[in-house]
Structure 1
Amino acid sequence: MSVPLEDFERLSPAKQKLLLARMEKLRHQQQGGEGREEAIPRSPRRETGAPFPLSFSQLRLWLVDRMDPGDPAYNIPLALRLRGPLDASVLARVFTEIVRRHESLRTVFETVDGQPVQRIDPPAPVSLPLVDLSGLGAEAREAEALRLAAAEARERFDVPRGPHLRLRLLRLAAGEHAALVTMHHIVSDGWSMGLLFGEIGALYGAFLASRPSPLPELPIQYPDFADWQRQRLSGEALQEHLRFWREALAGVPLVLDLPADRPRPAVRSSRGASIRALLPPDLSASLAAVGRSGGETLFMVLLAAFGVLVSRHAGAEDLCAGSVVANRNRLEIEGLIGFFVNTLALRIDLREAARFRDVLDRVRRTTLGAYAHQDLPFERLVEELQPARDLSRPPVLQVLFVLQNAPAGDLELPGLTREPLAVPEETSQVDLMVDAIEVPGGIAATWRFSTDLFDAPTVERTAVRFRVLLEA
């Protein structure tokens, strides 16, 4: 399989990453004489009535939840301001249909013989609670809307019992509302939020015009994937992935300490904050050109530079930085709302790297190999590496770099305009994470950090150093 460079560059980051993973996997299959992979089937448990297992990713969050029930660091909040004539009853019907379509949104978690399993509740009408703020003055109304949105983002879910989707509609004025949508990560991810946008737009327009749903039924559901994953990641297939990751990470330190504003607490919390920085379009274009010269994607260039930055701050020449992949490398799961995203531990080895080009070459090889073995859940990798138990830090990965690649979804609501409601972020799952996305004005980067360790000015200075490094 070959793709002209100019065609590759026109793809979104999501499609670039997916194409690279598929090309690398195809190469491995050809070398091993493997044929085409079969589609994920509907689970035979549907015939027997047996409960479904949790996916590996769900199991990790279930275990995390046992230690800190409902930790809001795993909430995925969305707050949108909607202007125009909104039909709240139609919007409630839209969410009812989305919950019917996706079993993940009707999942509850039980324990059977000491093991967690998932059970699917039957479809039921979804309510859309309305809070009327229109009687307040403009300044008080805006402050109360932001307060309610922040409180909603922090509110803990009852993970075992569900539901894992919460909705609230704020009436701000005639023809102005704020929609608050929050999902727990155990049933959702970034790609799922894009799917949610797309389905809301398609269904709202259809139902408003008294048309039936235009969306096709889904071929499988998330519990089918969870059951298939458990069966597939066993035996030789599992061992092949484990061999790759053991070799890729052999000898790399699994602890990384950045200079902090205060000592690391004995038990980390999920308290966090964020700052934002913008890399201008001319810099973004020059970085992409650097990548093209050596066959690297923009993500690879940014990751390599981030590795250099972290290395200088932590005094470590060999380190692990995490990133995430959508893990939607099969057609039958691309349309499912669910927790598919996987975290990759990417080794950045700067030892004897005399030039940035040397670092880039290593990062390219590391990333392509990781993409080809992205099916191994991060949770299973942690189990294999057996890091020393340390409640003061996340296991294996303390820093992450992400270039967002999930489709944003097309949320077009007839007669309505939308814009984000600016709600401050107050959680962090790791010490430091850079969440970047390409925008018309360049590359927008959100630097999320643990407030157990860092103050905002420290992270702001780090973001400035990152830009200076990229401009060098």
Structure 2
Amino acid sequence: MIQKEIEVGDATSGEVYVLPVSLGQERFWRLDRLNPGNPTWNVPVRFRLQGALDPTILERAFNEIILRHETLRTTVAIAAGQAVQVIKPSLNIEVPVIDLRHIEKTVRDGEIDRLSLQEARWRFDLTTGPLFRVSLLRVDDNEHVLLVTPHHVVADYWSIGLISKELGALYEAYARGARSSLPDLTVQYGDYAVWQRQQADGAVVQGELAYWKTQLEHLPLLEFPTDHPRASGPTYDATITSVLLPVELTDAIREVANREGATFFNTMLAALSIVLRQYSAQTDFGIATQVAGRSNVDLEPLIGLFINTVILRMDLSGDPTVSQLIARVQEVGSQAIAHQHVRFEQLLKDLRPDDYPSHHTLFRTNFICQRDPVKPLEFAGIKLTVIPSKSQGALYDLNVFLVLRNEGWRLACEYNTDLFEASTITRLLGDYRKTLESIAQNLHQPISRLPRLRDVPQPLSSGAHAA
């Protein structure tokens, strides 16, 4: 892709605002330059809308959201050799409606999935935009599937929750013939990007950067055994496998966490590290996770890329008891939160300057455990619920995530299908569940005395390349 070169105030670029990109935007822009249009960096989500929906009001509501949030009117260009945000003063999008009512119900779900996957893997052009897409599938007279797909440069998953909340409020108002009652935003994402770069060289961030460089010094890469050798270059094909954990089990783990003075997140992470130790025979490795990155209350209502990646170093050396391991992971997690003001992009440049913007020589496994920030809503007679998304691509070799929904905690794994067979991931999730059941009963046993996982695969030689 040829990157657009603009000059501030250049009449050919139109009446636009030009601001620095945030550190996160800069990294995703560089990743996009390596593989232009790679849909792995999309944030696709889909909703079920039940009720008498007016697509015209829906489109109007989305365009008001775009008007409120500058980041949804943003593209990326080069000015004076640097990536910059180019913000249009206005932008209207159309929300196309695809009518599927004529398709037999027996095959309709398959067509919904096909169109969902097609939308999730839309190839955005960061220089031209828009970097935010919406489409609507009419599946019955009073039922629709709403597909919302922003690029990561302009939104994170927290932002999806904000989009759905504003959509509900605006649709409700417009359906009544009223105006928007949403409060004005006090800052915009461009303000945050400028502030972030000012803070990057400050004493607080530099002090925390020193902590991370020490904490992650000589960090071994987790060598999780793959079913297929790595290709000579990075690959991104992915899918998702998930299971619903029994409420009795997750309640038992929460009781363990409470007794041990740990969070549910860190207790679940400790259990995962036990599983990964048995698969890899390693006692020292890193697992990444994400924090919201919205340290100021003014940032909480903003759509944009705020999430920050932190690497949690797992130490299973010395055959600790389950209780001791939970305490170790809790301390690592607490320190990560205390030092979260350093952007991962800064750390990556310092630790792996030759590999930036790729993270794959630092970690390949990610872990998420959270309540779903996208809540079910009811507005103007419409019921909105989340439908599990289709995978847009493999951000990591393995992305193990737990999301709390109405029915309980859903355990899922998004994985690179060029590396792993579905049976391996199914076995991994089953082994994770068995380990959770085991630690609930064997809290004071050394981890070596926990029941062994059967049929754990042996590492497959994959060469030196890190995708």
Shorter-chain TM range is 0.7 to 0.9
Q: Report the equivalent of 1:82.
A: 49
Task: Tell me if 1:383 matches 2:349.
Answer: yes
Q: Report the equivalent of 2:72.
A: 105
Deviations 1:188-212 (A, max 9, x none): 1111011111101111001100111
Give the match's secondary structure for 2:90. Answer: coil
Code of the aligned partner of 1:118: Q
Q: Which of residues 52, 66, 69 is equivalent to 2:33? A: 66
Partners of 1:445 and 1:422 lie apart in 2 by 12
Deviations 1:111-134 (A, max 9, x none): 011110002101233321122233
Q: Report the equivalent of 2:160.
A: 193
Q: Report the equivalent of 2:437.
A: 471
Larger fraction in helix? 1
Q: 1:55 to 1:174 in 2, by over 3 A?
A: same
Give the match's secondary structure for 1:304. Answer: helix
Q: CA deviation at 1:364?
A: 1.0
Task: Tell me if 1:218 matches 2:185.
Answer: yes
Q: 1:424 to 1:128 in 2, by over 3 A?
A: closer
Task: Tell me if 1:236 matches 2:203.
Answer: yes
Task: Tell me if 1:51 matches 2:15.
Answer: no
Q: Which of residues 343, 366, 373 is equivalent to 1:400? A: 366
Give the match's secondary structure for 2:63. Answer: helix
Alignment map for 1:338-417 (pairs within 5 Å): 338-386=304-352, 389=355, 394-405=360-371, 407-409=373-375, 411-417=377-383
Q: 1:392 to 1:460 in 2, by over 3 A?
A: farther
Code of the aligned partner of 1:401: F
Q: Report the equivalent of 1:143.
A: 110
Q: CA deviation at 1:57?
A: 0.7
Partners of 1:367 and 1:353 lie apart in 2 by 20
Partners of 2:235 and 2:358 lie apart in 1 by 8
Partners of 1:418 and 1:235 lie apart in 2 by 44
Partners of 1:463 and 1:422 lie apart in 2 by 18
Code of the aligned partner of 2:185: L
Partners of 1:163 and 1:228 lie apart in 2 by 25
Q: Report the equivalent of 1:336.
A: 302
Code of the aligned partner of 2:167: I
Partners of 2:223 and 2:358 lie apart in 1 by 11
Q: TM-score, normalised by structure 2?
A: 0.86
Partners of 1:119 and 1:402 lie apart in 2 by 32
Q: Report the equivalent of 2:404.
A: 438
Give the match's secondary structure for 1:226. Answer: helix
Q: Which of residues 180, 184, 191 is equivalent to 2:151? A: 184
Q: Which of residues 262, 281, 287 is equivalent to 1:321? A: 287
Q: Which runs of 5+ in 2 are unaligned?
A: 1-8, 10-15, 439-467
Give the match's secondary structure for 1:261. Answer: coil
Q: TM-score, normalised by structure 1?
A: 0.85
Number of residues paired by the alignment? 424
Q: Which of residues 305, 309, 312 is equivalent to 2:271? A: 305
Q: 1:389 to 1:102 in 2, by over 3 A?
A: closer
**What percent identity do the matched residue pairs reach?**
36
Code of the aligned partner of 1:349: D
Q: CA deviation at 1:58?
A: 0.7
Q: Which of residues 413, 421, 428 is equivalent to 1:455? A: 421
Partners of 1:131 and 1:110 lie apart in 2 by 33
Per mean C-alpha deviation after superposition, the further-off stretch among 290-299 and 351-360 is: 351-360
Report if aligned partners of 2:154, 2:305 keep a CA contact under 8 Å in 1. yes
Partners of 1:242 and 1:81 lie apart in 2 by 43
Partners of 1:277 and 1:177 lie apart in 2 by 26
Give the match's secondary structure for 1:205. Answer: helix
Q: 1:406 to 1:189 in 2, by over 3 A?
A: farther
Partners of 1:133 and 1:396 lie apart in 2 by 45
Report if aligned partners of 1:268, 1:452 keep a CA contact under 8 Å in 2. no
Q: Which of residues 92, 108, 111 is equivalent to 1:125? A: 92
Q: CA deviation at 1:405?
A: 4.2
Give the match's secondary structure for 1:412. Answer: strand
Give the match's secondary structure for 2:182. Answer: coil
Q: CA deviation at 1:246?
A: 1.4
Q: Report the equivalent of 2:194.
A: 227
Give the match's secondary structure for 2:378. Answer: coil
Give the match's secondary structure for 2:333. Answer: helix
Q: CA deviation at 1:404?
A: 2.1
**What root-mean-square deviation, in Å, do the aligned CA atoms of Structure 1 and Structure 2 show?**
2.1
Q: Which runs of 5+ in 1 are unaligned?
A: 1-44
